[in-house]
Amino acid sequence: MLGESAPSFNANSTNGTFEFPKDFGNSWKILLSHPKDFTPVCTSEILQLAQMQSEFEELGVKLAIISTDKLESHFEWKQLMEDILIESGHSDHIEFPLIEDDNGRISNKYGMLHAWENPTQDVRGVFIINPQNEIKSINFYPMNIGRNMEEIKRVVVALQISEKDQVLIPVNWNEGDDVLMKYVPYSKQELAVNPDLENQYYKVGVNMWYKKQGVK
């Protein structure tokens, strides 16, 4: 559930063994599940993530991928995807781990196995976890629909700004857009002392106070 501590687990992966989330340290983390190695939608998703690795790294985010496949399968699939990346002119290696969960132990802990869809393969889960290892966002997508990785990145940016500046994120927000205030941002007295406040905030309707971005 949102706000809960991310359940911890020990894992074997293409990057060796680790304890999640502890060994990912003080980063943001995204744990993404997928149904099956070598399938077309899953392959397209991992290739996209591989091309966005540096963007996630710049945001202080570490990625981890999980499915109910065996480690041997993960290694073979990873090699195939790295070959595709190089063939298509990308030099990217897949830096993030592909986690083995062939007995579904971890997937069950995270509710990634939806029995009515498929009892043994994960749905497409996205768990965004903050540096304090609290789960901040959960999404599940159907097996036949690939995720929008730009949208996942947008949510990370939104969560980070919301947390850092104590603001709210309005509908259809994109990085650089104005944000919403949690409270009325200034009193009449404060405005009298600092008239520039009127240039930093504006009101829509009765209760939507926006803070202009790019303005101090």
| 147 near ligand BEZ, judged by CB under 6 A | no
Could you tell me if 157 and 175 are in contact, meaning their C-beta atoms sit under 8 angstroms apart? Answer: yes
CA atoms within 13 A on the CB side of 213: 16
Cβ proximity to ligand BEZ, 94 vs 129, nearer residue: 94
Cβ proximity to ligand BEZ, 41 vs 52, nearer residue: 41
What Cα–Cα distance (Å) separates residue 114 from each residue in 16, 99, 102, 133?
28, 19, 15, 24
The C-alpha torsion from 178 through 179 and 185 to 191, rounded to 10°, is: -10
Stretch that binds ligand BEZ, among 10-18, 38-46, 126-134, 154-162 (CB under 6 A): 38-46
| 36 near ligand BEZ, judged by CB under 6 A | yes
Cβ proximity to ligand BEZ, 91 vs 144, nearer residue: 144
From the CB of 38, what's the least distance to ligand BEZ, in Å?
Answer: 9
The 8-class DSSP code of residue 74 comes to H
Cβ proximity to ligand BEZ, 47 vs 129, nearer residue: 47
Stretch that binds ligand BEZ, among 4-12, 37-45, 47-55, 147-155 (CB under 6 A): 37-45
| 91 near ligand BEZ, judged by CB under 6 A | no
Q: What angle do CA 168, 32, 19 make, to 5 degrees?
A: 105
From the CB of 116, what's the least distance to ligand BEZ, in Å?
Answer: 14
195: preceding bond cis by omega (within 30 degrees): no
**Contacts of ligand BEZ in 104-143 (CB under 6 A):** 143
Active site includes 206? no
Q: Which of 138, 142, 128, 213 is nearest to 175 (CA)?
A: 213
Asked whether the CA dihedral 131, 132, 137, 142 is positive or negative, the reply is positive
Strands (E), the chain: 9-13, 16-20, 28-33, 61-67, 98-100, 124-129, 135-141, 167-168, 179-181, 201-204, 208-211
Cβ proximity to ligand BEZ, 36 vs 153, nearer residue: 36
d(Cα 27, Cα 25) in Å, to the nearest integer? 6
From the CB of 46, what's the least distance to ligand BEZ, in Å?
Answer: 10
| 39 near ligand BEZ, judged by CB under 6 A | yes
Stretch that binds ligand BEZ, among 11-19, 34-42, 68-76, 196-204 (CB under 6 A): 34-42
Q: How many residues make contact with ligand BEZ (CB under 6 A)?
A: 8
Provide the annotated active-site residues.
42
Q: Which residues bind ligand BEZ (CB under 6 A)?
A: 35-36, 39-42, 143-144
